Structure 1
């Protein structure tokens, strides 16, 4: 018999129709919480890692094309973009020329299918909040579905637990807030529980490329597919060099105890190790969340573990209503899909260019993506044409929410191709044809306007 809290949580999940595999996975982590597991990875337990670069790898063109023909694509698409004030799938956000993330992803895949004569199924892992909007938007792409495979499968949900006693929280004011997603590590649980893993194997697919829908750099590139197939690895992650903007994020390391590769997230780093986490010379690589998985190896690992991969626990403490700090503290039990790198013996890392990691987490990122820093060609792949990526810091009081951001760029993003940085404090509206050159800072105590065709230049232009 389980504890009272676990029994209540289990009953709540059963009543909500949550998949049995997901319930047992949740129970596994609940027991870890009960025993005081924090999921922390101390600096003393890990060493830095090095890895090969894709630039130095030779991949035969036919081998690359063959690998793509045996690959399926999964996009994680459960996010609403709530941090930017959105209440629908974040991937529906307009990026360029009237095209959303979803439009560009669909067209990238359709182009690759034609180029390589590949089936290349595209499947979205949606949440119950993003499913309807996403499927409606994809309806315009009649050639996208692959016979015998769905266009989507749903991520699971689990109850938030009261921090004080681990009982599932009750919040009658908004019952939806009693639930949370289990982190993107749920992709493996959902693949098994929905039967999609078996379907893919039955149709002859060997590999799956998994990435985030808000990263348009995450194209199922044939060269990377060929490298992964040739490596014989059961699991691989694309990594990039960390930059100052990644100081607070996770990184790869090697565990001293058994030599396995690990992915240490910020939430798994003890406070006393914060300085080591931010040390870009010591821990040089972070994850793109672009994953390559051997489907047969994944099935075997799940079968051996009765469906529970045993990814490291992430104990995330929040308020039951994230927007109201007066509401009770809850624990959200999460896992990271990249953490599966430690599950598979022989996992690999490969360093890729920053062009494969273009995540949009804030409107700062969105401004760069909408600007002329990138071109989008006939293959719908982002091509960085600026010499460097500009650093953007927009005043959160006026630009954090997409609707407010859009009001201040009514004629589109300024030219950022020659920009090093843009820092905006105060309320500025930008006219058509504005160019940013070098390092630019704008300050205002009242609403101001940048006139059309203005060239804003800073010290780097001097």
Structure 2
């Protein structure tokens, strides 16, 4: 049986070696490939977990936490996950280069946020985003740090869904490769030497978050809470809402926290997964790590973290649904909450979670619903607002950035007094438009319609 597995994996091993990938990555990919062969698809059924009913909250942390955090702030490295291209929005460059507040990109704002605290900044780039990121950061002469500005996430081969062989796509050979999920953070940081570099330079903690979440900024209270409680790993979570029902939630398994993603949920348990009153806490992917603890853990497990496998079935060309179906083997960074001995979670306000995964979220973050402080922190303009605006743009006309920008030639509308915005059909926007309350805009004709400049919209507008 072992020989059969080795023979089946040999074509993968040969191509990974030809691409110059290290032994650690090859061993980890083989481990996950064997799990796929054994039909170990990482499912986490409802019967094996229990809901998390309560958690400590950021709003309850004290001045003492802030004081402790301030004392340890010079031991923190900020790491941003920057591997995404935003292909679902039609982008072909790093999504972080997209302008999001006026002419400022995610990358501009992130850099200014971190410079405000005088901390080192690291990006975990993918093979797709490294060059663009390096080029864009050259203008920041103030990023004068002894650590490199980035390290590269590994790449692995996509797997043919029919026979579990390496996927072949002669039309675009680069589409035969994919990142192994952001769970690769831990192995990639070790394999390239950046983990040892951080420790050698007396950095003890890392604050890790997605580059497209501008709400993820340093907060001394959270660091102080982590230090005071001698935590190895801390996950920031928010209360789940209806729009989070398909996102990863926190649970308990065998006395430990665990993270369950929707790809790990059996179809028969989907109603439990999407029950936001049962599973109350949503993973923001804002994580705090003790780097010394990470080093010890990696050594203990022989540098192969036993993170749950996530098997994603997709088309090899994500924009061509006629292209062959493949598997991508991934792990989630937040799943490490289950493998650290002293791991916990903290309930934080929604203001620390402002992701941009699509043009609906881009419109909200770009609008005056959010403002940038002098520290470049992104905050709701109305702190008393009890929920985010719900945005539903017609994906036929707004899904891709090119179409989105074409329909907002004078900038996005004011949304600070809006609760819900639905746009159906082909609609263009004039200058200085305000949306208030619940707004539904519908164009049922075949002719593009234009909302005149200086219009205030509330209720329904239709053609």
Which of the residues 198, 212, 215 maps onto 2:213?
A: 215
Q: Which residues of 2 match residues 19-418 of structure 1 at below 5 A?
A: 19-49=22-52, 50-60=54-64, 61-113=66-118, 120-147=119-146, 149-255=147-253, 258-386=254-382, 387=385, 388-418=387-417
Question: Partners in 1 of 2:322 and 2:92 — Cα distance?
Answer: 23
Question: Partners in 2 of 1:324 and 1:385 — Cα distance?
Answer: 40
Q: Is the 8 A contact 1:170 1:178 kept in 2?
A: yes
Q: Is the 8 A contact 1:68 1:226 kept in 2?
A: no
1:59 shift after superposition? 4.1
| Runs of 5+ consecutive residues of structure 1 not aligned to the other structure | 114-119
TM-score by length of 1: 0.96
Q: Which residues of 2 match residues 12-23 of structure 1 at below 5 A?
A: 12-23=15-26
Question: Partners in 1 of 2:304 and 2:27 — Cα distance?
Answer: 8
TM-score by length of 2: 0.95
Question: Counterpart in 2 of 1:117?
Answer: none
Question: Partners in 2 of 1:165 and 1:307 — Cα distance?
Answer: 29
| Runs of 5+ consecutive residues of structure 2 not aligned to the other structure | none
Q: Provide the secondary structure at the position in 2 that maps to 1:239.
A: strand
Deviates more, 1:412-421 or 1:314-323: 314-323
| Coordinate RMSD, CA, aligned | 1.1
Question: Partners in 2 of 1:75 and 1:154 — Cα distance?
Answer: 12
Question: Partners in 1 of 2:71 and 2:411 — Cα distance?
Answer: 41
Q: Is the 8 A contact 2:61 2:221 kept in 1?
A: no
For each residue in 1:215-259, what CA deviation from the matched residue of structure 2 results, as whole angstroms up to 9, or x when unmatched?
00011222212221222111110000011101111200001xx21
Question: Partners in 1 of 2:202 and 2:342 — Cα distance?
Answer: 23
Question: Partners in 2 of 1:19 and 1:354 — Cα distance?
Answer: 39
Which of the residues 7, 10, 18 maps onto 1:7?
A: 10
Count residues with an aligned counterpart: 450
Deviates more, 1:385-394 or 1:348-357: 385-394
For each residue in 1:328-362, what CA deviation from the matched residue of structure 2 results, as whole angstroms up to 9, or x when unmatched?
22111100000000001121000000000000001
Question: Partners in 2 of 1:14 and 1:66 — Cα distance?
Answer: 45
Question: Partners in 1 of 2:171 and 2:366 — Cα distance?
Answer: 38
Question: Partners in 2 of 1:408 and 1:36 — Cα distance?
Answer: 47
